[in-house]
Chains A and B, each alone.
Chain A
């Protein structure tokens, strides 16, 4: 069974990738002076999950091949997380071999989730990552999987847009409107659409929306727009004091927000992997 997974694992506390190359002593003395060579970012990804039910069955890979054949572009080079929920009590297969056979199908296994000790160890030994449980989006029925098309072939990143929408296909995006102040500790999630708040948002409150977040008052808490991966989502507010803002996983904390926007009427959007702020007209 296939389910799309919204992986939020990298949103906070990203550590720098482990360097494979160790410089010789004395070779790298200007590390602190040289310009920024990388940036740590949070990002939300939709990943295909392969929920394992009978991985040892000799018909597993033939059946998988058939599934892939029905929507080859959907699966081509798709990063895949192996969900071990249904098999966690059983000993894992030879993970290196399993991964190799998945790659033969042109899937890219990137990690394992919901496994036990044995699964965890097998995953690490095979160079796979460990994913947190994650939040499943709608189950994809066979007939919902997208047909191959020219636009999919052009897209290098395995994020097939049509299948990954968190709201069921055909449902219009309805905005959620909140008229009372959003207090510390409260979290409002506008499912599938925009979130409109007509009252102040306190520090310690959290707003989430797959679409845009509008706060026609002061925003002092956290606002996450485009949480399904929509980079076009925006955040609008009348008075910006947010502790954190994010669009499709790309985030800025209050300390990183330019002084001149604090307390102002601001529009926040994502342009070329960067958060951009503009005055509201």
Chain B
């Protein structure tokens, strides 16, 4: 039975899809059969970020409506073994997410996969609620600035109270904070919130800190999850985050887009992931 993870935030544009792609790729690389689903009906982006937009025939909504079978809609990633994408419709909207249909698809996916990663749309309305409803774990993506933190806080409240686990009085969704677009310079100048400030306000365990990085835009342009970019600091941070998610103890290395050599000596190369 799979673990269902929702990547959500409340605020838009903080890095949910980037994170969902990186996370799913990261989990698959560790040998877990993983599917990543786009819940952003009508504004789909996951297929672009995953680089499979030219191979989409059927989508999530087709499967919900019964016009296609699940295996017809699933797209195998060409780079990572065991990684699949379930894209969504560009022409419909969130009302097309009928909960019975979503439940059925989730049920099928749970049986066949180790991890189901749900890329949530922004907001707190039906699309976001459908994405979070079946989750076992949640990664709340937050930028280190006040409006993102406030929206994340709202989302955390909803994750606690409006999920299927909450309705059935089961163990609550296990939630983590992932700070993204962290710019060390701006934090030092006082323009951005420090990690401690964000955690104080959200009161959740920290999964990782992903630095602001040019490589993220490059990754999205080339349709490659950034975690596959070996040279990227953001990619490295995502690898650490996936490692922590899977139970490894890893130090948080707060790096920026510095030219190599400047920070290598200062920062925690000593604490690279150990087996």
Are A202 and B153 neighbours in the complex by a CB distance under 8 Å?
A: yes
Give chain B residues whose Cβ lies under 8 Å from the Cβ of A199: 203
Q: Is B201 an interface residue (CB 8 A)?
A: yes
> For residues 171 through 187 of chain A, which have their beta carbon under 8 Å from a beta carbon of chain B?
180-181, 183-186
Bitwise, B129-155 to A at CB < 8 A (1) or not (0) is 000000000000000000000110110
Query: Could you say which of B150, B158, B161, B203 contacts A181, with CB atoms under 8 Å apart?
Result: B203
Are B154 and A185 neighbours in the complex by a CB distance under 8 Å?
A: yes
Give chain A residues whose Cβ lies under 8 Å from the Cβ of B151: 184
Are B150 and A180 neighbours in the complex by a CB distance under 8 Å?
A: no
Give chain A residues whose Cβ lies under 8 Å from the Cβ of B201: 200, 202, 220
Are B160 and A204 neighbours in the complex by a CB distance under 8 Å?
A: no
Are B160 and A180 neighbours in the complex by a CB distance under 8 Å?
A: yes
Bitwise, A2-35 to B at CB < 8 A (1) or not (0) is 0000000000000000000000000000000000
Closest to A181 in B: B203
Q: Is A203 an interface residue (CB 8 A)?
A: yes
What CA separation (Å) do A184 and B150 show in the bound complex?
7
Q: Is B259 an interface residue (CB 8 A)?
A: no
Are A184 and B157 neighbours in the complex by a CB distance under 8 Å?
A: yes
Q: Is B156 an interface residue (CB 8 A)?
A: yes
Are A184 and B203 neighbours in the complex by a CB distance under 8 Å?
A: no
Given contacts A183-B160, A185-B158, contact A203 B203 (CB under 8 A): no
Given contacts A200-B203, A202-B201, contact A184 B160 (CB under 8 A): no
Closest to A220 in B: B201
> For residues 154 through 172 of chain B, which have their beta carbon under 8 Å from a beta carbon of chain A?
154, 156-158, 160-161
Give chain B residues whose Cβ lies under 8 Å from the Cβ of A200: 200-201, 203
Give chain B residues whose Cβ lies under 8 Å from the Cβ of A218: 200
Give chain B residues whose Cβ lies under 8 Å from the Cβ of A202: 150, 153, 157, 201
Give chain A residues whose Cβ lies under 8 Å from the Cβ of B150: 184, 202-204
Bitwise, A194-226 to B at CB < 8 A (1) or not (0) is 000001101111000000000000101000000
Looking at B158, B160, B201, the one whose CB has the most chain A CB atoms below 10 A away is B201
Give chain A residues whose Cβ lies under 8 Å from the Cβ of B161: 186
Tell me how far the C-beta of B155 lies from the nearest C-beta in chain A, rounded to whole angstroms. 9
Looking at A180, A183, A185, A186, the one whose CB has the most chain B CB atoms below 10 A away is A183
Give chain A residues whose Cβ lies under 8 Å from the Cβ of B200: 200, 218
What CA separation (Å) do A205 and B201 show in the bound complex?
12
Tell me how far the C-beta of B176 lies from the nearest C-beta in chain A, rounded to whole angstroms. 15
What CA separation (Å) do A180 and B157 show in the bound complex?
10
Tell me how far the C-beta of A128 lies from the nearest C-beta in chain B, rounded to whole angstroms. 41
Closest to B203 in A: A181
Give chain B residues whose Cβ lies under 8 Å from the Cβ of A184: 150-151, 153-154, 157
What CA separation (Å) do A180 and B161 show in the bound complex?
12
Closest to B156 in A: A183
Give chain B residues whose Cβ lies under 8 Å from the Cβ of A186: 157, 161
Tell me how far the C-beta of A204 lies from the nearest C-beta in chain B, rounded to whole angstroms. 6
7 new A-B contacts at CB < 8 Å, known A203-B153, A204-B154: A183-B154, A183-B157, A183-B160, A200-B203, A202-B150, A202-B201, A205-B157
Please, could you name 7 A-B residue pairs with CB atoms under 8 Å apart, sorted by A?
A180-B160, A181-B203, A202-B157, A202-B201, A204-B153, A204-B154, A218-B200
- Chain A residues within 8 Å of B, Cβ to Cβ: 180-181, 183-186, 199-200, 202-205, 218, 220
- Chain B residues within 8 Å of A, Cβ to Cβ: 150-151, 153-154, 156-158, 160-161, 200-201, 203
